[in-house]
Amino acid sequence: MSIKENVLKIEERIQKACDKVGRKREEVILLAASKTQPVEKIIEAYESGIRYFGENKVQEGIEKIEKLKEYADIHWHLIGGLQTNKVKYAVKYYELIHSVDRQALVDEIEKRGEKLNKVIDGLIEVNFGEESKFGVKKDNLKELFEYILTKKYIKIHGLMAIPPYFENPEDVRPYFIKLRTLRDNLEKEYNVKLSHLSMGMSHDFEVAIEEGATIVRIGTAIFGERNYAK
Ligand SMILES: *Cc1c(COP(=O)(O)O)cnc(C)c1O
């Protein structure tokens, strides 16, 4: 199957999932997880209608962003873990950082944002277990959120998670519900708006959409299997 066919298929499935729970298609951003994919493949996805791309590694992504400058309406997101020494590059190139997960990182983002006089947009990544080494544990989420509220140059728009992998996507549903609940609780407790839930990947995005995902990050189902493990 070509990338174009894959995207069409995914679009149908997204629409179906939205219909099932009475959501509008426009509420869900289809973000192509393009790690390890060459720019040619990204262009194919672009020509299939995709405008959001997520990269895992700051530098790998920047090389592609530079090569694809003429595609000015691409939204580039950073979806992989962020090292503090890469922040100064990340804040210049990426529109949204999905992986804000610790105070030291917040401090560095604040510092770089202040230098650029630019508010940096981010999501807090929550860690639900062994699947990802990144993310704040849910018991420490409030503390991190409060810490960020004291900062001027970083704004949090929601939560992101990579739940454990299950063969049956239904088994992931409780994690999606949990992330949404954590978001809802923060909104209530701090009287803020957190519009985004970045959750759902190739094998479970429909369930994620049913549970409120606003950004689904899809790699394999668009580009095919990657050459090396994620
Ligand atoms: C690779 C990756 C995805 C996409 O995974 P697929 O299973 O290939 O859809 C989503 N989110 C993150 C953070 C990733 O690293």
Cα dist from 217 to 30, 35, 80, 115, whole Å: 7, 11, 11, 30
Distance from the CA of 197 to the center of ligand 1, in angstroms?
A: 15
Q: What is the pLDDT of residues 34-58, one digit of tens each?
A: 999 999 999 999 999 999 999 999 9
Q: What is the pLDDT of residues 12-24, one digit of tens each?
A: 999 999 999 999 9
Distance from the CA of 204 to the center of ligand 1, in angstroms?
A: 11
The pLDDT score that the predictor gives to residue 129 is 79
180 found inside a domain? yes
pLDDT(170) > 90: yes
Cα–Cα distance measured from residue 170 to residue 204, given in angstroms and rounded to the nearest whole number: 8
CA dihedral for 69, 36, 161, 212, sign (positive or negative): positive
According to DSSP H, which parts of the chain are helical? 3-21, 39-47, 58-67, 87-93, 103-116, 141-149, 173-190, 205-210, 220-223
Comparing 227 with 147, which gets the higher pLDDT? Answer: 147
Domain around 201: 3-223
Number of structural domains in the chain: 1
The pLDDT score that the predictor gives to residue 229 is 47
Contacts of 111 (CB under 8 A, 6+ apart): none
Q: Is 161 in the pocket of ligand 1 (CB under 6 A)?
A: no
228 found inside a domain? no
* CATH number of the domain bearing residue 155: 3.20.20.10
121 found inside a domain? yes
Q: What is the pLDDT of residues 90-138, one digit of tens each?
A: 999 999 999 999 999 999 999 999 999 999 999 999 999 776 789 999 9
Q: Is 140 in the pocket of ligand 1 (CB under 6 A)?
A: no
Cα dist from 25 to 32, 123, 210, whole Å: 16, 21, 12
Cα–Cα distance measured from residue 211 to residue 163, given in angstroms and rounded to the nearest whole number: 14
Q: Is 79 in the pocket of ligand 1 (CB under 6 A)?
A: yes
Q: Which of 14, 79, 198, 204 to mutate to test the pocket of ligand 1 (most atoms within 8 A of CB)?
A: 79
230 found inside a domain? no
Residue nearest to atom 5 of ligand 1 (CA): 219
Q: What percent of the chain has pLDDT over 90?
A: 95
The pLDDT score that the predictor gives to residue 133 is 82
- Which atom in ligand 1 lies closest to the alpha carbon of residue 205? 9
